């Protein structure tokens, strides 16, 4: 059984219709690059979050293909235009081990 990956999505700036704010998403994923070894000298298999997709009201606005240079915990910041009437921001991710998840946050005007 794997440990759940904790994620967080926060917004910086005034959430007003038409305003551009900064969205900040983070995930407590180990991001094992495949280059390290454990205490007994065995190679730790690569397991990174390789795909992140962001949707606003189910419309895709960002897709990122991450690599081994991404830090742990994963941190992405990106501009986001607040739609009229607000809505939902959804971040989906998937890692090399087949684990996936999503974070949903409401934009309240």
* Residue 6 near residue 40, CB atoms below 8 Å: no
Instruction: Tell me the torsion sign for CA atoms 101, 76, 25, 88.
Output: negative
Q: Is residue 76 part of a domain?
A: yes
Q: Is residue 23 part of a domain?
A: yes
Of 36, 96, 35, 89, the C-alpha closest to 65 is 96
Question: In this structure, how many other beta carbons lie within 10 angstroms of the beta carbon of residue 76?
Answer: 19
Q: pLDDT tens, 1-41? A: 467 899 999 999 999 999 999 999 999 999 999 999 999 99
User: In the predicted model, what is the mean pLDDT of residues 69-89?
Assistant: 95
Q: pTM of the entire structure?
A: 0.92
Q: Is residue 24 part of a domain?
A: yes
- What is the number of structural domains in the chain? 1
Task: Compute the 3-state secondary structure of the chain and give helix, strand, coil in percent, each to the nearest 5.
Answer: 0, 55, 45
Task: List the domain range (segments joined by +) for residue 11.
Answer: 7-33+43-107
């Amino acid at each position: 059984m794997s440990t759940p990956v904790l994620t967080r999505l926060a917004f910086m700036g005034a959430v007003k219709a038409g305003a551009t704010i900064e969205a900040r998403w983070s995930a407590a994923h180990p991001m094992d690059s495949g280059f390290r070894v454990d205490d007994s000298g065995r190679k730790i298999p690569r397991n990174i979050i390789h795909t992140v997709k962001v949707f606003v009201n189910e419309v895709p606005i960002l897709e990122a293909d991450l690599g081994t240079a991404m830090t742990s915990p994963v941190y992405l910041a990106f501009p986001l235009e607040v739609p009229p009437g607000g809505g939902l921001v959804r971040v989906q991710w998937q890692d090399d081990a087949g684990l996936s998840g999503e974070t949903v946050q409401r934009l309240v005007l």
